[in-house]
Structures are given as C-alpha cells and as structure tokens.
Structure 1
Amino acid sequence: MAKLLENFHLALITGVVLMLVLMFGLHGDAMSALELPVIQYIHTFFGILWIGLLYYFNFVQIPTMPKVPAELKPAVSKYIAPAALFWFRWAAAATVLLGLILAMRSGYLVEALLLQEGLRLIGIGMWLGLVMAFNVWFIIWPNQKRALGIVEADDASKAKSARVAMLTSRTNLVLSIPMLYAMTTFTPLPA
C-alpha cells in the first residue's frame, strides 16, 4: 500500500477507479442517469482543487514567503509556485467549463446568467466564478510569470507584477467566499 501511496499518479488513478466502482456499483449501466452526476462530480473536484490552491496561496505561501530565508526562496519560486500555478489555472478553466456545461445540460444556463428569479443565487455564483477565472488567466498568471522569472523582466517589473498578482489573488479570495455560498446553497431545479 505504501508503494501505491508514494506515487502521486498511482494514488490519483486508484482514487478515480474507486469512484468509478462506487458509481457503477450504485447505478449499474444507466449512463444517461449518470451524465449530470458525473459532470457535477468532476466540476466539484476541480473546484476544490482551484479554491484549495487559492487558499494555499493566500493562507500559506503569501504570508510565509517573507519569513523564508533568502537562500531557500528559489525552491518555492522555481519549483513549488510554478507547479501550483499550473494546477491553479487549469483547475479554474476546468471548473468554469464544467460548470457551464452542467448548467446548460440542466437547462438553466441562460436564465442563471441573466440572474432570473429562482436562479439569481446560482447566477451570482456563476458570475463570481467567471470573474475569478478571468483574474486567474489574464491578471494573476501573466503577472506571476514575470514575478517568478518565467518570462524576462527587470527587478522593478518583477516587484510590481508580484504585487498585482497578490492583490488580484486577494480579490479572488474575497470573491470566493460569496461564490462558495452561492454554489453550495443552490438547489437545482427538477429536470
């Protein structure tokens, strides 16, 4: 068991296989009945990954970096942060895409985005998620590439980019709180 858990990819695949066993064990071969639950499950999985990394950055990495000795900072900026940012931005994209597909397949996409009665709460959550994903891809990521030296930038530009990325990440932290409320308290309409 330790060998399996020591290998990230094997552990991840094992979790997926266990989920599929549970899913098909409960539903047999009724794939049409599984479509929405599977989309919802994967949407939730990537949402947890995205917001979990957002919270990691804001609760752990940003406040801890000033305390890290200078000789150890490259370990974070060259290895940990780029890997975390990879999963952060792709989890954001997957969460939004799957959320839009879920709303479309459930029949409330347009009404929710237009904030119509009965769908206002989920619509607000969707708009907050869209703004947050925009921030990830078009503000945080370009600025982090400069701040981390992934793309060429002078020291002043790196410092300015780090601040912009941090402030935008904090904005997403603020937006995530009402977004999570909207997403977790919405009761889907019967199909």
Structure 2
Amino acid sequence: MDMLLDLTLRWAHFIAGIIWVGHNYSSVVQRPSWQPLRAEELSDDRSPRFQALLNREHGFFRWASVVTWSAGLLMLWRQGWLSDALALQGSLAPIGVGMYIGTLMMLNVWLVLWPHQKKVLGLVPASIDERLRCSRITHLSSRTNTMLSIPLLFFMATGSHGGLL
C-alpha cells in the first residue's frame, strides 16, 4: 500500500506539474507579446476577446499548482527528506531550491495572479480602468511563473538525477 501511495503521489506531482507549467508555456506561445485589452473589450462582456478570456479554463492551472506543491511536499516528507530539503542540506539542496521556487510560483498564482484575474474577468466588481490595470498585472505574473519554471525544472532534475552544477 505504501508503494502505491508513493507511485500515486509521484504521478500526481508529475501530471499536475505538466498542467500547471504547461498552461504558462501555452500562454507564451499563444500570446508571445502582451497586447493590452481595450476598454470596449471589457465593457462588452460579449466581445470575442473577452469571451475567449472567460472561456479559458482558469481552475485547472490554479488547482494544479496546489496538487503539484502538496504532492511534492508529501513525497519529501514520506521519504524523510523534507527537513534537509527545507534546510538546503547535502544532496537535497537542489530539490530544496526547487521547492522554494515552486512555493513562490504557487503563491504568485494564488495571491497575485488570481485576485487580479477575477477583476479582469468581471468575477469581482471593478471599474474598467481597474480591469485594464489588472490585465497587465496578470500578464506579468504569468510570465514571471513561466520564467521561474526554468530554474525550477533544472533543480528538480538535478536533485533527482544526481550532481549539482
């Protein structure tokens, strides 16, 4: 049963990580440069661009960040590695650095990106000017996570496959 739980955690961490990071990379590919929304696009909830934003699945990537982070912590804890990874000690230092980067990325999603995205999408009342300002913040927050995912993946691979730099 322990082996099944370990396998489930590993796959949950892996698949949720692909969904989470993949969402950021697909955003970069689909929209390589930021194009600001226009006030007309936000004032008319039926505009094609606004509907495209609204219909994009926001829940998957947000909750994938929680699943990825939680499964990763639980795997480290079950192996007895969590304290050494947190303290950046020995061979677990790279995984610890990756864990800190992942924590920062998850907090960015939940504390920066999502509160502003709710305003852009009209899920939280905000003026048109505020919604336009928030669209830029969500773009920058998403790009920050995309850039942070590069060292995150590096440190995960380094920690898993031995050798530091």
Shorter-chain TM-score bucket reads 0.7 to 0.9
> Identity, % of aligned pairs?
35
SS of 2:160's equivalent in the other structure is: coil
- Residue deviations 1:20-43, cap 9 Å, x none? xxxxxxxxxxx2332212211111
Scaled by the length of structure 1, what TM-score is found? Answer: 0.74
Match of 2:9 in 1: 39
Report the Cα distance in structure 1 between the residues aligned to 2:34 and 2:7, rounded to whole angstroms.
38
Listed as ranges, the gaps of 5+ residues in structure 2 are 42-46
> What is the identity, as a one-letter code, of the residue corresponding to 1:143?
H
8 Å Cα contact 2:91-2:159 kept in structure 1: no
1:78 to 54, 67, 74: 54
Deviation at 1:165, TM superposition (A): 1.2
The answer to whether structure 1 residue 164 and structure 2 residue 140 are counterparts is no
1:132·1:175 contact (CA, 8 Å) conserved in 2? yes
Aligned with residue 54 of structure 1, among 24, 42, 55: 24
Task: Note the C-alpha offset of 1:182.
Answer: 1.0
Deviations 1:33-54 (A, max 9, x none): 3221221111111011100111
Deviation at 1:56, TM superposition (A): 1.6
- Structure with higher Rg: it is 1
Secondary structure of 2:91's aligned partner: coil
Structure 1 pair 178/45, CA: closer, same or farther in 2 (3 Å)? same
Mark the CA change 1:62 to 1:88 in structure 2 (over 3 Å): closer, same or farther.
farther
Matched residues in 1 for 2:31 and 2:121: separation? 14
Q: Is the 8 A contact 1:65 1:73 kept in 2?
A: no
Tell me, yes or no, if structure 1 residue 123 matches structure 2 residue 99: no
- Report the Cα offset of residue 107 of structure 1: 1.0
**1 CA distance for matches of 2:103 and 2:49?**
32
| Residue-pair matches, total | 154
Query: Gapped runs of 5+ residues in structure 1?
Result: 1-30
The 4+ residue runs of structure 1 with deviation greater than 2 A are: 31-35, 61-66
